[in-house]
Structure 1
Amino acid sequence: MPSRGIRRKALHLLCRLRNTLRVTSNETERVPVGYIGDVRLDHWPEPERAILHSREGNKVYLRGADPCDEVSERVPVYEGDEVIVMEHIAYISAHTEPEGAAGYMLSQRVVPLREEPGKVFARTLRHGEEDDGRRAHCRPGDEFVLEEMQISVDHVDEWEGKGVDGYVPLTPVLFTWMSFATHHSAEKHRYLLAAARRLDQAQSLFDRIDVLRQSDPEGAPAVRRAVFELVGTTELATVSLGRVVDMCMQARTAIGAAAPVPADIRTRCDGVRAIRNAYEHIEDRALGNVQGSPHPDALTIFNHQRVVADGVIEYGTHQLDLSTDVPSIVNAARQYLKDVAKEV
């Protein structure tokens, strides 16, 4: 058994060894010279919380925090570090012209897929896909590769509807969509845009009718002006809507549409056509005629009282309710024209 003296010497050596190791560790441990909490590039509107992306030697790559990132500590920086702020890409935009803002069509969210040396791969967010806010982040000199791009008429419709209350005009939606979908014939392109313009105009006029019916003008002259405008606007709105109904019903023959015409259009088309024809040929009806011959229904189109009081157009045995029938037809026609535009 070792003597007490030997044990004391051994303990003394161990203590010296521990102290030596502690001093050596302190001498080699790197002490941060600072911490970075926010980063910003010149063209960013605001600073963003800093996230450490990676360290490569003395190069420290930082990126702005995405909405999906968890709360993190500030990034330590050591003596000799070179801090590099990465660029982020959240959207791509489509244009009809190579330069300038005149040809701007729409923007799409892009999300990262993967990284390879010198390349960052991304794709567009799919319509209806949850968006957690993540972005693609690129080092200086990285190539941004859009590996997958998807766009649909529903995506365009959603984009056009941002900030719009109520009805979203269909013509810009179809124009933008068919600018991407080059498989449409020139005839189909013209046909769908013409129908969409009539639909948008009809809806705009029906909106004006709602305003007039809810107005409360003071004095007989003001009341008469409002009534005459209401009747005239109803005539023009119905003529425009009637043309849309015809174009939907004839789309299969005219442009080879495969989508079935919605029941809300099919079941109301006869009444809409009859009323539309009466309004469109008002000069004939004013003489009591239909196609140049006397007809017992001709003068019923001048029963404006129900239009003003009840919001119902009457012509012969046909009726069109502005508060129920018209919205059903407009919504059905809008969806139908979109469905036809989707077809290959």
Structure 2
Amino acid sequence: MSNISPEAPRGAASTGGQITGRQIPDRLRSRTSRALKSWESLLIVVALAIFIANSMLSPYFLDPWNLSDASFNFTEKVLIAFAMALLIIAGEIDLSVASIIALSSTAMGVAMSMGAGTPTLVAVGLLVGLGCGVVNGLLVTRLGLPSIVVTIGTMSLYRGLSYIVLGDQAFTGYPASFAWFGQGYVWWVFSFEFVLFIGCAVLYAVLLHGTNFGRLVYAIGNNATAAAFSGIRVDRVKFRLFLLTGLMSGIAAICLTARLGSTRPSIAMGYELEVVTMVVLGGVNILGGAGSIPGVVLAAFIMGLVTFGFGLLNVPGILMSIFIGLLLIGVIALPKLWARFRSARA
């Protein structure tokens, strides 16, 4: 029998801990309040503000083809940022991603000079990126070395190998079919890179927020020791994340090499800083355990809009580097400063 008497009107207070009609709007208001206070909501406001400012400062900004060109400022970096976000949430980091791009691009250049076609070039780029991820993953998970130390070392190693092969030279003359990966358009102003970015955003959002693997990543990032005692194979999960980061770096190398039409040992120099900034700006805790893919997507749009806006205003590139450095420091420091401010007020 029901605990509610026949005379009790629907929505009235009841026993047994049941939710009343008055409590439902309260919960909705609470959820709405949390959503409005979320980091992603703040990023949306910032992105809209930058978009409006750029449209007011430059008459060329709102041109559809110019906006399409703006996407090239972040698509290759955000492809790596998706995998990097999972890696940082799990408590690790990979600073060798830009050097993996250089080595993958160099390997594709060597294959091209030997007469390889587009399918072979794509396979070489993916395999080299995956191989670099294997090396990083084994050094961290099997030898127990700190990921930041390992990837600083492999960052120099992979870039150094590119310089040994190329020196001051460059590989050019890639096939026209290969150039489509970096210069082609799927429909109207939507480039292949932008469509790939959207597809990867959906894929990684499902992987992190809708699968058991994503829950394992969060659990490891919050407490790796407790996760191991609960039966999670921590090293196996981390190894797969390094593989994923290497693979995404290989994909980025394919897109970047195809867009530039050439390979130089200095290709993608400084990308690791921008990728990490993109991830942290997206709300991923640099210490692990928290973060979201939608936040990374919004951060990518913000950095792309800022970079493109600076370009339209003829702002020197060195100022953009200074801005990215300050942004990274500010995003890391802001939560700590805010926590101290709140504790001081309390």
**Which bin holds the TM-score, normalised by the shorter protein?**
under 0.3
TM-score, normalisation: structure 1? 0.22
- The structure whose RCO (Cα within 8 Å, separation 6+) is larger is 2
Higher strand residue share: 1
Higher helix residue share: 2
